[in-house]
Structure 1
Amino acid sequence: MDYRIRLEPSVKCINRLLKHGLPFRGHDESEGSNNRGLFLSLLEFYASDIKHVKRVVMENAPKNHQLTSPDIQKDIVHALALETTKLITMDIGDDFFAILADESRDVSVKEQMGVVLLYVNEKGFVIERFLGVSHVSDTKAVSLKKAIESMLTKHGLSISRVRGQGYDGANNMKGEINGLKTLILEESPSAYYIHCFAHRLQLALVAVAQNHDDVNLFFFIVGTVTNLVGASCKRQDIIRETQCSKVEEAIASGELETRRGLNQEIGIKRPSDTCWGSHFGTLVNLETLFSTLVDTLQNLEGDRKAVAQASLVLIQLEDFEFVFMMKLMIEVLAITNELSIALQNKDQDIVNVVHLVNVSKRRLQEMRDSGWELLFKETIHFCAQESIEVPNIDDIYVRRGKS
């Protein structure tokens, strides 16, 4: 009887921590520690108001039978995982389902692949459930397919019941011949491959940007700037303080409005190629903090290498071509970012998506046909504000770096 009373609180506490994705262990779990970790702290709190539980747990339990050791915790977690996946497979039954898979390296530099199942339950709702994580020796399509099939078989699911598949778009997962989707289709011809539309848009933008020399150079400079200012907490503090002073001056002179939600503290971080929407946010902040960043780079002290790098970056920043490219990419990415956000909406339907794609294409075409004058005027105005020299457009243009 005492064993059951002692076990039940441990199971409930672990279940609660798992539900919220919280860590169990503490750095020092000894009885004299002020922070014994979430599991022991939660167990102690649970037992504090229940006399019959408090009587048999923690320090009141036999030293060799407290049911709180790391091994016991792992056993309980494993049991809960088995029960959870059992309920998922029972809910699916003999119906069809789709799979989502992605791989990534963990902290021990091992490739781990996560698998998620999508299915329609008895009430007609689309359900998305995480099935498990599997270590893969490499990220070749054959290895990934073998790992997926093994995981499905382990839980009593057949790959022949798969009716949809979605992956992250990496080359080893999207190839027409050797890719994972093709291997799955060989065994389940109706397992249609559906890519994340938002991710596909982002991948296309990355590919286009990297194949255009001027755009590629522009984002290289942006990355260098974000690395320079983001590599030091002191530099970040200088940016905040400088920007705060400029905002206060602008408000005092009437150049800025004051209203809830305006003039919030912002920073600048390196954009990610796998999340192209982050480029838009970085560029908007770069434009807002432009003069502050220039001041920070001009007054950079300490590391000689960083100072030298800052001097080179300043030459590129305070240049008409850079400002023009910044304005251009903000305009382009503002349109594609709106589409990307809309594509990530879980309630989005295909008819509306097609409409949004057409709207975005039309807006980009309109910008191409008649957006030059406005873009050029905005660039000149920005350069005037930042004391950047504007070249004579009638002069013969000689591209830098070309003979």
Structure 2
Amino acid sequence: MYNKTFTIKEHFLGFVPLKKTTGAFMAETLLGLLEQMGLPLENLRGQGYDYGSNMRGKEHGVQKTVLDINPCAFFVPCSAHSLNLVVNAAAKSCQEATGFFMSVQEIYNYFSASTKHWQILTSHLPTLTIKPLSPTRWESRIDTLKPLRYLGSIYDALMEIYNEPHPHKTTSESLVEAKGLAEGISKFKFVVSLVV
């Protein structure tokens, strides 16, 4: 949308629940909503979506349906999504980065697999929650790494589990895993990876 000075303005129109996720159904839903809102499709000058085939598909995607109705509504892949894919691919090509993020995920998996371990962690990190890694959203890794700034607290939680006064309540495998994770996050390479 634009005003009388031809300044482009963006507006959030809302969330829409979808019963199907096919390109045809999503296009039909979008076109119906634009019509309901009084937004003429002939004024549309661009479309930007992720790389999902239901959105960008050349035969049945939303962009194709809209482009068939209005040839001026060019499709441009979402640059944020494109950058995310590039960064993910670059990180996966680096063994150090892959190993680092695998260790980060192992920390989450370890604590989240046991309510007792989670309680011990939250006693050491009361205001932060560790989160799992998203395999596709690179920016979510920032939220995953924030609690790791308190590496000493995570180390203390792991060592509390390892040095538990009643080890019969925790399996030997879990104790060894706690010790291994504590040693892993204490390594210089891990700490440097966290900072870099």
Asked if TM exceeds 0.5, the reply is yes
2:20 equivalent to 1:138:
yes
Q: Which moved more, 1:198-207 or 1:265-274?
A: 265-274
Going from structure 1 to structure 2, the CA distance change for 1:139 and 1:210 (only over 3 Å counts) comes to farther
Cα distance in 1 for partners of 2:175, 2:58 equals 45
Does structure 1 conserve the Cα–Cα contact (< 8 Å) formed by 2:124 and 2:156?
no
Equivalent residues in 2 for 1:188-337, closer than 5 Å: 188-210=70-92, 215-229=97-111, 232-239=118-125, 268-273=130-135, 275-280=137-142, 282-283=144-145, 285-286=147-148, 288-300=149-161, 304=170, 308-309=173-174, 311-312=176-177, 314-315=179-180, 318-319=183-184, 323-324=188-189, 327-328=192-193, 330-331=195-196
Answer whether contact 2:158 2:181 (CA < 8 A) is retained.
no
Aligned residues: 186
Identity %: 25
What SS does the corresponding residue of 2:9 show, helix, strand or coil?
A: strand
How far does residue 147 in structure 1 lie from its aligned partner after superposition? Answer: 0.9
Amino acid at match of 2:35: T
Offset at 1:163? Answer: 0.8
Is the Cα–Cα contact under 8 Å of residues 46 and 75 in structure 2 kept in the other structure? yes
Query: Is the alpha carbon distance of 1:172 and 1:283 closer, same or farther for their aligned partners in structure 2, counting shifts above 3 Å?
Result: same
State the alpha-carbon separation in 2 of the partners of residues 304 and 177 from structure 1.
56
Alpha carbons of structure 1 residues 209 and 325: separation in structure 2 relative to 1, 3 Å: farther
Distance (Å, rounded) in 2 between the aligned partners of 1:189 and 1:280: 39
How far has the Cα of 1:161 moved from its partner?
A: 2.7
Amino acid at match of 1:304: T
Cα distance 1:239–1:133, how it changes in 2: closer, same or farther (>3 A)? closer
CA contact under 8 A between 2:100 and 2:193: conserved in structure 1? Answer: no
Whose RCO is larger (CA < 8 A, sep 6+)? 2
- In structure 2, give the amino acid aligned to 1:269: K
Q: Which runs of 5 or more structure 1 residues have no equivalent in the other structure?
A: 1-118, 241-264, 332-403
CA RMSD of aligned residues (A): 3.6
Q: Distance in 1 between matches of 2:27 and 2:17?
A: 12
Shift, 1:142, TM fit: 1.3
- What TM-score results when the alignment is normalised by the length of structure 2? 0.69
Report if the CA contact (8 A) 1:239-1:293 is conserved.
yes
Provide Cα deviations, 1:48-82, integer angstroms capped at 9, x if missing partner.
Answer: xxxxxxxxxxxxxxxxxxxxxxxxxxxxxxxxxxx
Which whole-Å CA distance do the structure 1 matches of 2:58 and 2:189 have between them?
A: 39
Q: Which runs of 5+ in 2 are unaligned?
A: none
Q: 2:4 aligns with which of 122, 131, 149?
A: 122
Letter in 1 for 2:108: T
Q: Answer yes or no: is the 8 Å Cα contact 1:215–1:325 preserved in 2.
A: no
Structure 2 equivalent of residue 173 of structure 1: 55
**Distance across 1 between alignment mates of 2:88 and 2:136:** 8
Q: Is the 8 A contact 1:269 1:282 kept in 2?
A: yes
Q: Take 1:211 and 1:178, find their aligned partners in 2: how far apart are those partners?
A: 33
